[in-house]
Amino acid sequence: MAHTKICGVTTAEQAVACAAAGASAIGLNFIAASPRRVDVTRARQISRALRAASPKTLVVGVVADMDLDAMKALRDEAELGCLQLHGDEPAAALSALLPHAYKAVRIAGATDVARAAAFPGEHVLVDAKVKGALGGTGTTFDWTLVVDLAKTRKVTLAGGLTPANVAEAVRVVRPFCVDVSSGVEDATPGVKDMARVRAFIAAAR
């Protein structure tokens, strides 16, 4: 059974509701250009609320192109369980954060898959490669590209997943986890539709 990560959550109330619906992890976005960005104070509130309500739910901080000291400081100040490195971070930076970090790699072809496989750590996230975007585009990619990768690594599959297609994605890839953000929103980025969240988690299972 695939784990589920609901990413781009912006309030403690929605984070707790997603965890209650069965989410394994909650993603908090710290990328300045994202409409789902939260600051450290808000992130700490969410982390503490989840720790009180659902202590087994992992809180993941999504970052891009921060230096190592800044990432460590953010992790500690926001009381995060893990970091998702979504920029062009080198393998050495990831290694310094293991085991509580993993790399996100944008996939368009076999070369990208090979790059994902080369990063250290047990986990890796794969997302659609869209020019000019780090992620969160709501775009899918060819899932068959990462089937073999998912046999050797704990793959989190992201990119355009919705309640309508996640069951097929899980069937094809057999990922460790599936990650969704815009696919469980209606109109406002960062505001999750809880009916869609519940449907997504049920379909992923």
Q: Active-site positions?
A: 7, 127
> CB neighbours of 131 closer than 8 A, spacing ≥ 6?
none
- Cβ proximity of 177 and 24 under 8 Å: yes
- Cβ proximity of 89 and 65 under 8 Å: yes
> Could you give the CA distance from residue 134 to residue 158 in angstroms, rounded to a whole number?
12
User: ∠ CA 7-9-11 to the nearest 5 degrees?
Assistant: 165
> Could you give the CA distance from residue 71 to residue 193 in angstroms, rounded to a whole number?
30
